[in-house]
Amino acid sequence: MRQFSLADQFRDEARERAVLSAIAHDAQLYWRLIDSLPPGVFVDEAAAWKALSEAVEGERPPVDAVPGYWSASDDPVGDAEKLADLYQRRLLAEAQERLAEALHDEGVPARELAGRLEEEAARAQQAIRELSSGRLQLASDLVRGVLADARERYEARKDTGKPVMGIRTGIAKLDEITGGMEEGLYLLAAGPSFGKTTLATQVSQAAARQGVPVVYATFENGPANLVTKMVCAGAGTNSRDLRRGYADPDRLARAAAELEPVLRRIALVEGTARLTVAEVRARALQMMNRFGTDRCLVVVDYLQLWAKASAELRGMVSARERTEALAAELRGLATRLKSPVLAIVSQNRDKGDYGTNGKSAPTLDSLKESGDLEYAADVVMFVHRAQDRTAMEPARAVDLTVAKNRNGELGKAELIFRADLGVMREETARGAMAP
């Protein structure tokens, strides 16, 4: 006779089948639900989940991975969350069973039971945390990968004769300073109207031109507005002229056609109160799978607006706490995706560039109002008015200063910002914009 198990009370075969069937009929659900469905969630249909995962990630039709008579869930997101909750309850039930066994074991002194209780609680908590933080890895297990990466970079440098770089930003001096964008959190800070979004969209397009998919979460501009800005910049047209009906539609159409291969690699996610870092990760994994890449670029425009709007963070008292927590999550996202995350941030009014009237370059202190962001970031960059250069209106001379670089040098790139055309380019020796 089978022995009773408390953990078995927290399994739901019908719900497992319903979720699997829903994914089999809509493969896009896999990328939405993957964070809610870590290993161990499917206990009755583990083999079907494995087959389904392999089919979706291998871009094969997933419908054959599950029996056709299974009914699909009407609420796969909700059911996936319930399955994850059941999994966590199984972990706790197993801990309780082990503790109960010790409680009835006369060979275990009572004084040891309190210690056992703490150990079991810690074990269960750690297992639950690892659902979202990824599996534990020993440093020694990573050596082979580190050496393989070093050899791959060495051979690439020998073949091309050029240094191996991360994702290039389209700004040569910035890439020279940082080595391109690698895995990590990059903060781009500036005062109002200094071209933060302009620069972020340019970097996004530069990444897409290199075959790197981009997920751009936008809280300040609507997705259509961002596309308008990019097309107008490509056409050399003021977006205000488009809104007023003065822009040449044929010129815009030509620019859009030239940009089409780039824009198809840029996924725009409209920021809402319900958007979570887990959802952004799912979009990024989906794009990486679609284009067959092992990295992507995630852009957040911008950090404080997301922190303020996020329903997930409303339990925190202050905006500072929410911003710090979100920055930490984004750094974790970069680690899990092994990709760069570029987050736009605002500066303090009393310490940012627009608080000093351009008399000095901004410092890391200008981020303090929003928490200790500089500690979470791998790279911190500021766009600010140039200290020793001017430009003829409507152009503006600005500097892009790298104030923190965990992996390399500090420095600045001298740029010219044309707010009217929505472009920011490096300044040439004669003071013009580089092409």
Q: Can you spell out the DSSP letters for 183-218?
A: SEEEEEEE-TTSSHHHHHHHHHHHHHHTT--EEEEE
Of 426, 382, 417, 418, the residue nearest 400 (C-alpha) = 382
Mean pLDDT value across the chain? 84
The string of DSSP letters for 62-98 reads GGGGS-TTSPPPS-HHHHHHHHHHHHHHHHHHHHHHH
pLDDT 10s digits, 159-186: 888 787 899 999 999 999 999 999 999 9
Q: Confirm if 43 and 11 have CB atoms less than 8 A apart.
A: yes
Q: Residues spanned by CATH 3.40.50.300 within the chain? A: 165-426
Of 212, 186, 407, the residue nearest 299 (C-alpha) = 186
pLDDT for residue 202 is more than 80? yes
Q: Confirm if 411 and 218 have CB atoms less than 8 A apart.
A: no
pLDDT for 38 equals 73
Of the pLDDT bands very low, low, confident and very high (cuts 50, 70, 90), residue 22 is very high
Q: Residues spanned by CATH 1.10.860.10 within the chain? A: 6-133
Is-cis flag, bond preceding 302, omega within 30?
yes
- Percent of the chain beyond pLDDT 90? 44
pLDDT for residue 238 is more than 80? yes
- Rounded-to-integer distance, Cα 169 and Cα 182, Å: 11
pLDDT for residue 352 is more than 50? no
Of 129, 47, 134, 57, the residue nearest 88 (C-alpha) = 129
- Percent of the chain beyond pLDDT 70? 87
Is domain 165-426 in CATH 3.40.50.300, yes or no? yes
Of the pLDDT bands very low, low, confident and very high (cuts 50, 70, 90), residue 430 is very low
249-263 and 223-235 are packed helices; what angle lies between their axes, rounded to 10 degrees?
Answer: 110
- Rounded-to-integer distance, Cα 52 and Cα 65, Å: 5
Rounded to two decimals, the pTM is 0.71
Of the pLDDT bands very low, low, confident and very high (cuts 50, 70, 90), residue 359 is low
> In terms of DSSP bridges, do strands 411-418 and 214-218 run parallel, antiparallel, or are they unpaired?
unpaired
pLDDT for residue 262 is more than 70? yes
- Rounded-to-integer distance, Cα 325 and Cα 316, Å: 9
- Give the residue-averaged pLDDT of 49-60: 87
- Give the residue-averaged pLDDT of 241-255: 90
Tell me the two tokens of residue 387: 């200290």
Stretch among 144-148, 201-205, 270-274, 352-356 having the lowest mean pLDDT: 352-356
- Rounded-to-integer distance, Cα 230 and Cα 217, Å: 15
Of 110, 313, 309, 303, the residue nearest 196 (C-alpha) = 303
Is domain 6-133 in CATH 3.40.50.2300, yes or no? no
pLDDT for 140 equals 82
